[in-house]
Amino acid sequence: MTQEQWSAIRNRNKDYDNQFFYAVRTTGIVCRPSCTSRPCNPKNIIIFFTLQEALAHGFRPCRKCRPELPDWNGAKAELARSAQKLITENYKEKFSLQAIAGTLYVNKSYLVRTFKEITGITPLAYHHQIRCEQAKKLLTRQELSISFISCEVGYQTASHFTKMFKSVCGCTPSEYRNNYLATLQTDRTQTE
């Protein structure tokens, strides 16, 4: 093992991922250089340039860094992606951080920290974004009332829906609809 490789492992440098893998004799595990596992004694490390080589020597893939999955972005990214999927699939339901954390088998504080670290926003803010994106689609239909749309995307009252929509989109639902209709009318006029 070179000093550069040890430095990459110690600093969990993602730039070295897929350039080499390191195996730990004492645990029998092979990892990526960016693995978040606790650093081990450098005397116990063996360097491999391919994962297959490490597996052939009897080492098993780490469950934290998943070296056998080339597109793996880490456990935190996977957790955030799973939370996004749950929120998107259940956007009409009342938001429950406890339920999401329970489904993903993590502490709710850890979920919020990780979600915000990966996505830049909280799970609740993401929930409101998804609801507002769905509302935008419904607002293009003139026959649907604002009250109906607010219930359809999961808000209990039209006033709360309007407040959240303005917070997320920068305009009220009525303003969004009017802008959409004005744009649609302009496009029709130009094509005639």
Q: Say if residue 81 is in the same domain as residue 173.
A: yes
Least confident range from 23-27, 53-57, 62-66: namely 62-66
Query: What region, left, alpha or beta, does residue 120 occupy, with left being phi > 0 and alpha being psi -120 to 50 degrees?
Result: left
Give residue 90's domain range. Answer: 75-183
Q: Locate tokens 């829906």: which residue?
A: 161
Pairing mode, strands 29-31 and 21-24: antiparallel
Helix (H) or strand (E) holding 177: helix 173-191
Number of domains composing the chain:
2
66 within domain boundaries: no
Active-site residue list: 31
Asked whether residue 176 carries a pLDDT value surpassing 70, the answer given is yes
Longest dimension (CA), the chain: 77
Q: Say if residue 143 is in the same domain as residue 80.
A: yes
pLDDT tens sequence across 84-112: 999 999 999 998 999 999 999 999 999 99
Q: Say if residue 163 is in the same domain as residue 81.
A: yes
Cα radius of gyration (the chain): 24
End-to-end CA distance of the chain: 72
Q: What is the dihedral of CA 92, 98, 101, 104, to 10 degrees?
A: -70
**The pLDDT value given to residue 164:** 95
81 within domain boundaries: yes
121 within domain boundaries: yes
Q: Locate tokens 């339920």: which residue?
A: 99
Q: Residue 185: how many CB atoms within 10 A of its CB?
A: 10
**The pLDDT value given to residue 188:** 67
Separation of alpha carbons 139 and 173, rounded Å: 7
188 within domain boundaries: no
